[in-house]
């Protein structure tokens, strides 16, 4: 009984061991090979995902590059459009700059020659005029007129003149004058440097009433020349010169036999030329000489004309060869003159009006220096210093400069030392 039981136990162990062995064998032959075969499939699937990701990234990069290039092209097109617009704007500005100086003359022609004058600021109009008793008329130009070639200093010149129109209220109390009284008063005010602006304002107040009178027109043009000299602002100077020249043209058109019309038209052409290019500057130089000669023809005893001609001759005598060549190329003729010719004109001024102006003496001295006439140069310098100084250009420093050129640097013990 016991022996039978042991056999059953042993048989059970053998069967169990056999079952376990078969189970292990099945595991190694079936389960493990499947695992080995699935790994390459898994790797292949991973590679497929990587390839898809790379392709997506490359596609995205291509789209980004195309978008960036498109934006660059748009920016370049905008820049090109901007540059084109800038060039067009520059051209428009250039055309406007050329057209504006002619606009005023065109408008005046459309309005039948009516002159639009420069308005004076309320500050200037509010200043009371210090009008003195009317004295004898002085239609001949005084020595101060010769000094108009220099630059003046004025305390009451400002840029407001171009910005503020004159209220009509300022004109309600203007004293009504007849033409003779107006001319006499304007000439008297102009004789004093400090009241030249008042002379100009007086003429402005009566421009509507006497705008067609020749004696008024050329004086009005002359007054604009005075304002050119008094102003220290370049734009104001150009403004005064252009309007004055327009008035001068009107004067010589209506009175071609009036010497004063030609005189002040010539002067204002000289002022306008200061703001022109080389070609127009030379053109205005010829125009200046032409009308100056006409003025001398009609006013042979007017010293101021010979002073201006002397200045012209002296300037032309100092032109360089290249400047003369350019003038000949542009206009077919060469401006010519000599220091000797300039000297004769300045001497003519002294003959007609001894002590005419400090400026005339100084140019006499300059001519004498150029001609090696040192003694005469010193004489004219000494005569110049005796006259009152009207302008900053012809002051004490200019005297010393000319004298220094004539005799060198004087020592403290020298009678010429100043």
**pLDDT tens-digit map of 30-60:** 554 444 444 445 445 455 555 555 566 566 6
Residue 324 has what pLDDT? 80
Indicate the pLDDT class of residue 330, thresholds 50, 70 and 90: confident
Compute the distance between CA of residue 200 and CA of residue 124 in angstroms, rounded to an integer.
11
The per-residue pLDDT for 357 is 92
- Per-residue DSSP letter, 121: P
Q: What's the token pair of residue 290? A: 């032409």
Q: What is the pLDDT of residues 372-401, one digit of tens each?
A: 999 999 999 999 988 876 654 444 444 445
Mean pLDDT over the full length of the chain: 73
- DSSP tag of 30: I
Look at residue 285 in the predicted model and tell me its pLDDT. Answer: 87
Pair of tokens at residue 238: 């150009």
pLDDT band, residue 189 (cuts 50/70/90): very high
Res. 170 pLDDT band, cuts 50 70 90: very low
Calculate helix-pair angle for 303-317, 358-370, nearest 10 degrees: 30
Burial (CB < 10 A; 0-12, 13-18, 19+), residue 76, is exposed
Q: What is the pLDDT of residue 168?
A: 38
Q: What is the pLDDT of residues 67-110, one digit of tens each?
A: 766 676 677 677 767 777 777 777 777 777 776 776 666 666 65
- Rounded to 5°, angle at Cα 281 from 278 and 287: 145
pLDDT at 17 > cutoff 80: no
Distance of CA 269 to the CA centre of its chain: 18
Write down the pLDDT at residue 151: 35
What is the per-residue pLDDT for 86?
76
DSSP 335-400: ----HHHHHHHHHHHHHHSTT--HHHHHHHHHHHHHTT-HHHHHHHHHHHHHSPP-SSTTSHHHHH
199: CB partners within 8 A, 6+ apart: 185, 186, 187, 189, 190, 223, 226
Provide the pLDDT for residue 153: 32
Decide if pLDDT at 122 tops 60: no
Residue 182 pLDDT exceeds 90: yes
Produce one character per residue of 279-294: b if its CB has 16 or more CB atoms within 10 Å, e if not: eeebbbbebbbebbeb
Q: What is the mean pLDDT of residues 260-280?
A: 92
**Strand, helix or coil for residue 220:** helix
Q: Say which DSSP state 130 is in.
A: -
For residue 23, the model assigns a pLDDT of 65
State how far the Cα of 415 lies from the Cα of 418, in Å rounded to an integer.
Answer: 8
C-alpha pair distances (Å), 78 with each of 24, 82, 86, 88:
80, 6, 12, 15
Token pair for 289: 């000489």
* Range name among 184-193, 242-251, 313-322, 389-398 with the lowest pLDDT average: 389-398
DSSP state of 395: S
The Cα 118–Cα 7 span in angstroms is 145
Where residue 184 falls among pLDDT bands split at 50, 70, 90? Answer: very high
Asked whether 130 and 222 are in contact (CB, 8 A), the reply is no
Q: Is residue 198 scored above 70 in pLDDT?
A: yes
pLDDT higher than threshold 90 for residue 172: no
- Residue environment code for 113-127, b if the CB has 16+ CB neighbours within 10 A, otherwise e: eebebbbbbeebbee
Examine the pLDDT at 163 and tell me if it is beyond 90: no
More confident residue, 12 or 36: 12
């Amino acid at each position: 009984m016991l022996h039978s039981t042991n056999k059953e136990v042993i048989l059970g162990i053998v069967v169990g061991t056999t079952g376990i062995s078969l189970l292990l064998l099945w595991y190694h032959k079936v389960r493990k090979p499947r695992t080995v075969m699935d790994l390459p499939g898994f790797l292949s699937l991973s590679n497929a995902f990587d390839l898809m990701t790379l392709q997506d990234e490359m596609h995205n990069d291509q789209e980004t590059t195309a978008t960036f290039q498109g934006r660059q092209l748009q920016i370049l097109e905008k820049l090109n459009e901007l540059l084109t617009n800038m060039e067009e704007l520059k051209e428009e500005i250039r055309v406007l700059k050329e057209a504006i100086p002619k606009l005023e003359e065109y408008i005046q022609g459309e309005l039948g020659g009516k002159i639009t004058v420069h308005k004076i600021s309320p500050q200037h109009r509010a200043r009371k005029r210090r009008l003195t008793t009317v004295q004898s008329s002085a239609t001949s130009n005084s020595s101060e007129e010769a000094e108009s070639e220099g630059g003046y200093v004025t305390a009451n010149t400002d840029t407001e003149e171009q910005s503020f129109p004159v209220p009509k209220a300022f004109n309600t109390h203007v004293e009504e004058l007849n033409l003779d009284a107006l001319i006499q008063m304007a000439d008297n005010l102009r004789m004093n440097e400090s009241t030249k602006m008042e002379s100009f304002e007086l003429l402005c107040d009566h421009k509507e009433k006497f705008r067609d009178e020749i004696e008024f027109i050329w004086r009005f043009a002359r007054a604009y020349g005075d304002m050119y000299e008094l102003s220290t602002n370049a734009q104001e100077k150009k403004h005064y010169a252009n309007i004055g020249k327009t008035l001068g043209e009107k004067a010589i058109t209506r009175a071609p036999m009036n010497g004063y019309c030609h005189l002040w038209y010539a002067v204002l052409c000289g002022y306008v030329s200061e703001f022109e290019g080389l070609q127009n500057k030379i053109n205005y130089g010829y125009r200046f000489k032409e009308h100056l000669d006409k003025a001398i023809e009609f006013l042979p005893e007017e010293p101021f004309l010979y002073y201006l001609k002397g200045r012209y001759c002296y300037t032309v005598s100092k032109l360089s060869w290249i400047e003369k060549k350019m003038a000949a190329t542009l206009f077919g003729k060469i401006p010519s003159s000599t220091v000797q010719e300039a000297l004769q004109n300045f001497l003519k001024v002294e003959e007609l009006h001894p002590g005419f102006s400090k400026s005339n003496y100084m140019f006499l001295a300059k001519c004498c220096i150029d001609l090696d006439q040192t003694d005469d140069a010193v004489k004219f310098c000494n005569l110049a210093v005796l006259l009152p100084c009207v302008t900053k250009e012809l002051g004490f420093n200019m005297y010393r400069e000319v004298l220094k050129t004539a005799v060198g640097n004087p020592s403290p013990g020298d009678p010429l030392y100043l």
